[in-house]
Structures are given as C-alpha cells and as structure tokens.
Amino acid sequence: MKKLIALLSAATLLVSMTVSAAPSPSAEAVTATNAAVEAGFANASQQEMAAARGMTAAEYYNNAITSTPGVTNAMPVGQGGKIVINGVVTNMTAQLAKADKATAAGANEQAAALGGTLLNVVKVSFPGANFNTATINFYLKGLPNGAKVAVKQLVNGVWVDVEVVEVRADHVVLNLKYAGAVAFVQIP
C-alpha cells in the first residue's frame, strides 16, 4: 500500500509539472525579417549583407553609394556591370561598399593636394575575379560633361594614380589594377 501511494504521488508530481518552452527560432526569424522589411530589405539576410558593406537598402539594391562618412556633399557613385576584364567584355558587376572615415580623411587630403574637391570615395571589389586590368564605368550622378576628374586608389596603404579612360556627363571610366578604395576628385 505504501508503495502504491508513493507511486501515485510521484505520478501526480510528474504530470502536474510546469512545462517551460524555449523561445522559438521561427519567432526570432519572423521578427528579424519584419525589421528588415521595415528598413526596405526583402529579408534579414540581405539586410545583414548590406550592413557588412555599410549600405542602406536603396544603396544595396542599386549598387551605389550615396553618402560617405567624412565626405561633404558626396556625389552618388554607382556601378552597373559590363566590366572589361583583361580586354574581354564580361557581364560582371563590381561590388561597391562605403569607405570608413579614416579612408575618407586620406581621400580628402589627396583632393586638397591636387587642388580639387573630393566627389566621393568608395570601396570597390570584384568577387571571384582575377585580373590585371579591369576597365570599369562608374556612374557619378550630377557630374557635368567636360568635368576634369582625377582618381586615386588606396593600395597597400599608399594612394596611387588611376588611369582615367574617359569622363563624360554622369560617367567616369577607369582602368583599375586592384580592388580597394577609389577616390574621385574634381579638379579645376
């Protein structure tokens, strides 16, 4: 009888225990996705990729940098593809990212040394590409036809000259030898 009562008591305690549930990962995912959608992204994954490049939703989806920390009145810079790699036309697109304040400060110094105005500085990368020369057309919204533009690139901590192939209204075509920060300077 004592064993029966002990067994019933244990069973009653076991059945009446409060069940605690862990937070649902799906609820966290839904919350993150909702926040991403409110910020203008399709999903949280794309928001994370844009954040890694310092970009807003509009910048991320347009592959353009509209503002840069440390650059006053930054001219929007974009890139839409059709890069020529080692003389061969491709359907490749360069990936743009925002430069940090220290890089922008260095670019401002380069612009001052040239007696010009820094239009913008952006980080340029070519995921999956091996190249000696990449001919790339940058879109600079508002650049007037006939503008004089010098371009510098930060390579291993040193600003080097970049070959400017063509400057026309809203466009600067460059021959890049490296990935990295590229500063566009309008000179008088």
pLDDT, tens digit (0-9, with 9 covering 90-100), for 48-66: 999 999 999 999 999 999 9
- Number of structural domains in the chain: 2
Nearest to 188 by CA among 122, 111, 105, 75: 111
Mean predicted lDDT score pLDDT of the chain: 89
- Contacts for 156 with CB less than 8 Å, ≥ 6 apart: none
Are residues 114 and 37 part of one domain?
A: no
pTM confidence score: 0.82
Say if residues 107 and 181 touch (Cβ distance below 8 Å): yes
Task: Answer whether residue 150 is part of any domain.
Answer: yes
Which has more pLDDT, 37 or 60? 60
pLDDT for 161 beyond 90: yes
Are residues 130 and 152 part of one domain?
A: yes
Where helices occur in 23-173 by DSSP H, the ranges are 25-38, 44-52, 57-62, 101-114
Are residues 73 and 41 part of one domain?
A: no
Are residues 115 and 32 part of one domain?
A: no
Q: What is the mean pLDDT of residues 77-92?
A: 92
Are residues 159 and 93 part of one domain?
A: yes
Domain assignment of residue 38, given as a range: 27-62
pLDDT score of 14: 59
